[in-house]
């Protein structure tokens, strides 16, 4: 019996994953006639893999008002000012100015436009002021006029913080 070709055929189907039929030689007779029976699958299973990637985009929007110049005309008493710009839900922008003296026994004052547009003082060592980016692209401060008590809006380009 010569099984050499039969084994090669079986190995071919095993390596190439193509066995789809059943071979029969009707017992111990020489393999001269091969009967094949094909089995049709009754159901098919398919596996699908889906990959979803989430991306996050951060957009920083800055107003057209820019920053305000921080003056230090009195180096011994001038303090740093933190400027934080925030976009509001309505699309407008605000600028929060904050000045803190390290000495809790001192008071601080903000001087607007080199003192030409008044000042805002605080009875403590911390002061904050909120400005609005106006339609003309300038930072605007609205506060009560000391003489009349009515709100006055002033364009601010410079600020200085001093402690006493």
Helix ranges, 63-114 (H): none
Query: What is the tens place of the pLDDT at every residue in 99-128?
Result: 999 999 999 999 999 999 989 999 999 999
What is the domain partition of the chain in residue ranges? Answer: 4-38, 69-163
Query: What is the tens place of the pLDDT at every residue in 40-62?
Result: 545 444 455 555 555 554 445 56
pLDDT of residue 49: 53
pLDDT of residue 146: 84
d(CA 56, CA 153): 39
Give kind and range of the element (H or E) at residue 24: strand 21-24
pTM of the model: 0.61
Contact 9, 31 (CB under 8 A): no
What average pLDDT is seen over the chain?
78
Helices and strands in the chain, H and E counts: 1, 12
Find all residues with CB under 8 Å of 62, minimum gap 6, and list them: 85
d(CA 129, CA 91): 20
Count of CB atoms within 10 A of residue 159's CB?
Answer: 25
């Amino acid at each position: 019996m010569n099984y050499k070709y039969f084994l090669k055929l079986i190995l071919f189907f095993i390596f190439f994953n193509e066995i789809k039929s059943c071979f029969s030689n009707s017992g111990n007779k020489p393999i001269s006639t091969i009967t094949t029976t094909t089995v049709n699958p009754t159901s098919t299973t398919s596996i699908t893999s889906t990959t979803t990637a989430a991306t996050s985009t951060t957009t920083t929007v800055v107003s057209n008002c820019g920053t305000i110049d921080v003056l230090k005309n009195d180096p011994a008493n001038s303090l740093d000012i933190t400027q934080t710009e925030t976009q509001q839900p309505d699309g407008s922008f605000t600028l929060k100015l904050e000045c803190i003296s390290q000495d809790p026994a001192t008071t601080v004052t903000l001087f607007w436009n080199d003192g030409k547009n008044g000042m805002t003082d605080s009875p403590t060592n911390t002061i904050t002021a909120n400005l609005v980016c106006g339609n003309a692209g300038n930072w605007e401060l609205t506060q009560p006029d000391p003489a009349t008590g009515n709100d006055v809006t002033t364009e601010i380009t410079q600020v200085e913080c001093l402690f006493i």
